[in-house]
Amino acid sequence: MSGVFVVFEGGDGAGKSTQVRLLAGWLAEQGIAHRVTREPGDTWLGGHLRHLLLDPASGPISPRAEALVYAADKAQHVDEVVVPALSAGEVVVCDRYVDSTLAYQGAGRRMDLAELEHIARWATRDLRPDLTVVLDVDPDLAVHTKAEPDRLEAAGQEFHRNVRRLFLELAERDPERYLVLPGRDPREQLAATVRERVRELVERNA
Ligand code: TMP
């Protein structure tokens, strides 16, 4: 596949959407064809699944069911959005991917990581990002401003500490394919660091 696949990961409120927007703005300025997307939710099916997953009114969802619904979103997303864009040579900028399953369902819900990874890799045809940017924020210092947190945001501090730990562990295992940045650094500074890594990938890919 000829495009470049860039994923942003991190805890809730880490600033991913801002960085996705800034990177997309730079790609547009450079005239680089790109596609901004996210999981869960960026397909018709995914939109419905996102609603079911995050709406507090869904009530308790069994952790295995939750993992499978996230996997279904990924399967549809990879087939409908990510693979076609990469095949067209575009830079795909994706807000969350497989690592979110490992962090939230694995470390957060305490499910077996190897089993979850198997399911998520099957769902995504084992398509791996060229670069994963982890925006790291201590959940104990995160500012909680939302009056109505969604199902995952409401999961508690211990859950979110485990999520953070797993993102950092995944990044440590494969430094070539990860960039870990302190999410509280000034956003323009973060964006500049991300741009440099993406520029290298795009040039190498040309
Ligand atoms: P978002 O609000 O950053 O778009 O993410 C939605 C929520 O879904 C967020 O709390 C993280 C969670 N999530 C998982 O638990 N597993 C996954 O595989 C993905 C993609 C997201």
Query: pLDDT tens digits for 116-172?
Result: 999 999 999 999 999 999 999 999 887 665 678 888 888 889 999 999 999 999 999
Q: Which tokens go with 52?
A: 């079911």
Closest CA to 14 of 139, 129, 104, 101: 139
Is the distance from the beta carbon of residue 152 to the nearest atom of ligand 1 less than 6 Å?
Answer: yes
pLDDT at 70 over 70: yes
pLDDT at residue 164 in the model: 97
β-strand 34-38 against 178-182: which pairing, if any?
unpaired
Is the distance from the beta carbon of residue 37 to the nearest atom of ligand 1 less than 6 Å?
Answer: no
Which residue is closest in CA terms to ligand 1's atom 10?
Answer: 152
In this structure, the number of other CB atoms found within 10 A of the CB of residue 160 comes to 24
Q: In whole angstroms, how far apart are CA 16 and each of 61, 156, 181?
A: 26, 20, 11
In this structure, the number of other CB atoms found within 10 A of the CB of residue 98 comes to 27
Residues 17-47: tens digit of each pLDDT: 999 999 999 999 999 999 999 999 999 999 9
Is the distance from the beta carbon of residue 124 to the nearest atom of ligand 1 less than 6 Å?
Answer: no
| Residues of the domain holding 139 | 4-205
Which residue is closest in CA terms to ligand 1's atom 20?
Answer: 39
pTM: 0.96
Count how many domains the chain has. 1
Q: Which atom of ligand 1 is nearest the CA belonging to 150?
A: 10
- Ligand 1 center–CA 98 separation, angstroms: 10
Closest CA to 180 of 171, 190, 192, 189: 171
Residues 111-129: tens digit of each pLDDT: 999 999 999 999 999 999 9
CA torsion 153-156-162-163 (nearest 10°) is 0
Residues 75-102: tens digit of each pLDDT: 999 999 999 999 999 999 999 999 999 9
Which residue is closest in CA terms to ligand 1's atom 2?
Answer: 12
Is the distance from the beta carbon of residue 9 to the nearest atom of ligand 1 less than 6 Å?
Answer: no
- Report the C-alpha gap between 155 and 104 in whole angstroms: 10
Per-chain mean pLDDT for the chain: 95
CATH of the domain at 91: 3.40.50.300
- Ligand 1 center–CA 48 separation, angstroms: 14
